[in-house]
Structure 1
C-alpha cells in the first residue's frame, strides 16, 4: 500500500471530511491490521476490512470519468464471490447533494438492503452529530442483529484503531453510536 500514491487525496476529493479517517490512522491499519486492505486502479479505489465472516467496505470510489459504466458493480460482484456478508456505511439521502441518492441507488441496485433496525450516529471532530445508514448484502439469510454485531466489530477494530493517539477520543464507541431501534 505504501508504494501506491494518491489514495488519500482521492478520498479527500470525494468524501466529506467528517467521514474520513486520518491518513496516519489508515496507514497504521494497512501496516498492522491483518484485515484492512486497499485495492486501487485508475478506475476505482476500495478500502475494506476482510474479516472471517464479513467484509466491511470502508470506502468505495469510482473514478468520476468512468462512473455509470459498471465498474462499481464489477468490484462489488468480485467481493460477493467471496461468499461473505458485505457491509457499508452510506450517507442518508440529502436532496441538496445528489450524490447521496446516487450512492443509495448503487447499493440497492447491487442487492444491498438498508438495515431498518440499526440507528448509527457518530460525532465529527468538532462534536457535531451525523447519521449514516448501514447497508448490507449477504449470500445467505442474515439477521439485522448479526449486522449490528458485525458493525460493533468494525467500530472497535477499524474506526477506533489507535484512536486515542490519532484523535484523542474514540470516534465510534459501539455502545454510544449504534442503537437497536426495536
Structure 2
C-alpha cells in the first residue's frame, strides 16, 4: 500500500517524466517543501515554496475525471495566493492524455511561458521538451517564472540526483533557456 501512489503515477505519466520512487521518497522525507496529498479521487505531488507552488504531478482517478475534481483542487491551490507552476508535455497526436493535460491547465487559467524553452534528457540521453505553464494571482513576468523554475530544478529535480541517476538531470543552465538563446 505504501507504494500505491507511485503505481498510480506509472499508469498515467510517460516513463521519462517520472522520478525514481526512491528519489521521491527521499524528497518527501527530507525536503520540507515537497508534499503528497491523495484520496481515492486524486493524487497530487507538489512543492510549496514561500512565493510559489510547483505542481510536480496531478492525477485524477480515471473513473471521476471530468467531474471537476481537478479544477477544485487547482482552485484550492490558487486560494493560497501564490504563483502556480507546472511542467506540461507538448500536445502529441499519438497521446490523447497529453492533449487533455494541456486543455486542463488552460481551462484553469494557466498560461504557457512562451519565451522559456525547457529541454531535459531521459535516462538514456534522449532529449524531451516540456512547456512551463503558470497561473499567478497578480501580474508576473516570465523572468520570475524562469527564476522559480531554476529553484525547482535545483531543489526538487536535482535533490540527491547523483545518488539516484548518477547525474544531475536538470542543471538550470543546461535545461532552461530563453527562446532567443537557441
What's the TM-score once normalised by structure 2's chain length?
0.97
Q: Please give the residue correspondences for 1:22-37 in structure 2 after superposition, counting only pairs within 5 Å.
A: 22-37=20-35
**Residue equivalent to 1:116:** 114
**Residue equivalent to 1:7:** 5
Q: Spell out, residue by residue over 1:105-158, the C-alpha distance to the aligned partner (whole angstroms, 9 max, x if none).
A: 100000000000000000000000000000000000110000000000000000
Query: How many residue pairs were aligned?
Result: 180
- Give 1:4 deviation, angstroms: 4.8
**Residue equivalent to 1:42:** 40
Moved over 6 A (4+): none
Q: Distance in 2 between matches of 1:122 and 1:168?
A: 15
**Residue equivalent to 1:171:** 169
- Give 1:27 deviation, angstroms: 0.4
Q: Spell out, residue by residue over 1:10-63, the C-alpha distance to the aligned partner (whole angstroms, 9 max, x if none).
A: 011111110000111100000000000000000000000000000000000000
Which deviates more from structure 2 when the two are superposed, residues 116-125 or residues 98-107? 98-107
Q: Name stretches of at least 5 consecutive residues in structure 1 with no aligned partner.
A: none
Q: Please give the residue correspondences for 1:131-170 in structure 2 after superposition, counting only pairs within 5 Å.
A: 131-170=129-168
Instruction: Find the residue that maps to 2:63 and give its secondary structure.
Output: helix
- Report the aligned-residue RMSD: 0.9
Which of 83, 88, 97 matches 1:99?
Answer: 97
- Give 1:91 deviation, angstroms: 0.5
Q: Name stretches of at least 5 consecutive residues in structure 2 with no aligned partner.
A: none
**Residue equivalent to 1:71:** 69
Q: Distance in 2 between matches of 1:143 and 1:35?
A: 23
Q: Distance in 1 between matches of 2:171 and 2:77?
A: 27
Q: Distance in 2 between matches of 1:100 and 1:162?
A: 29
- Give 1:101 deviation, angstroms: 1.0
Q: Distance in 1 between matches of 2:47 and 2:2?
A: 18
What's the TM-score once normalised by structure 1's chain length?
0.97
**Residue equivalent to 1:60:** 58
Q: Distance in 2 between matches of 1:59 and 1:7?
A: 11
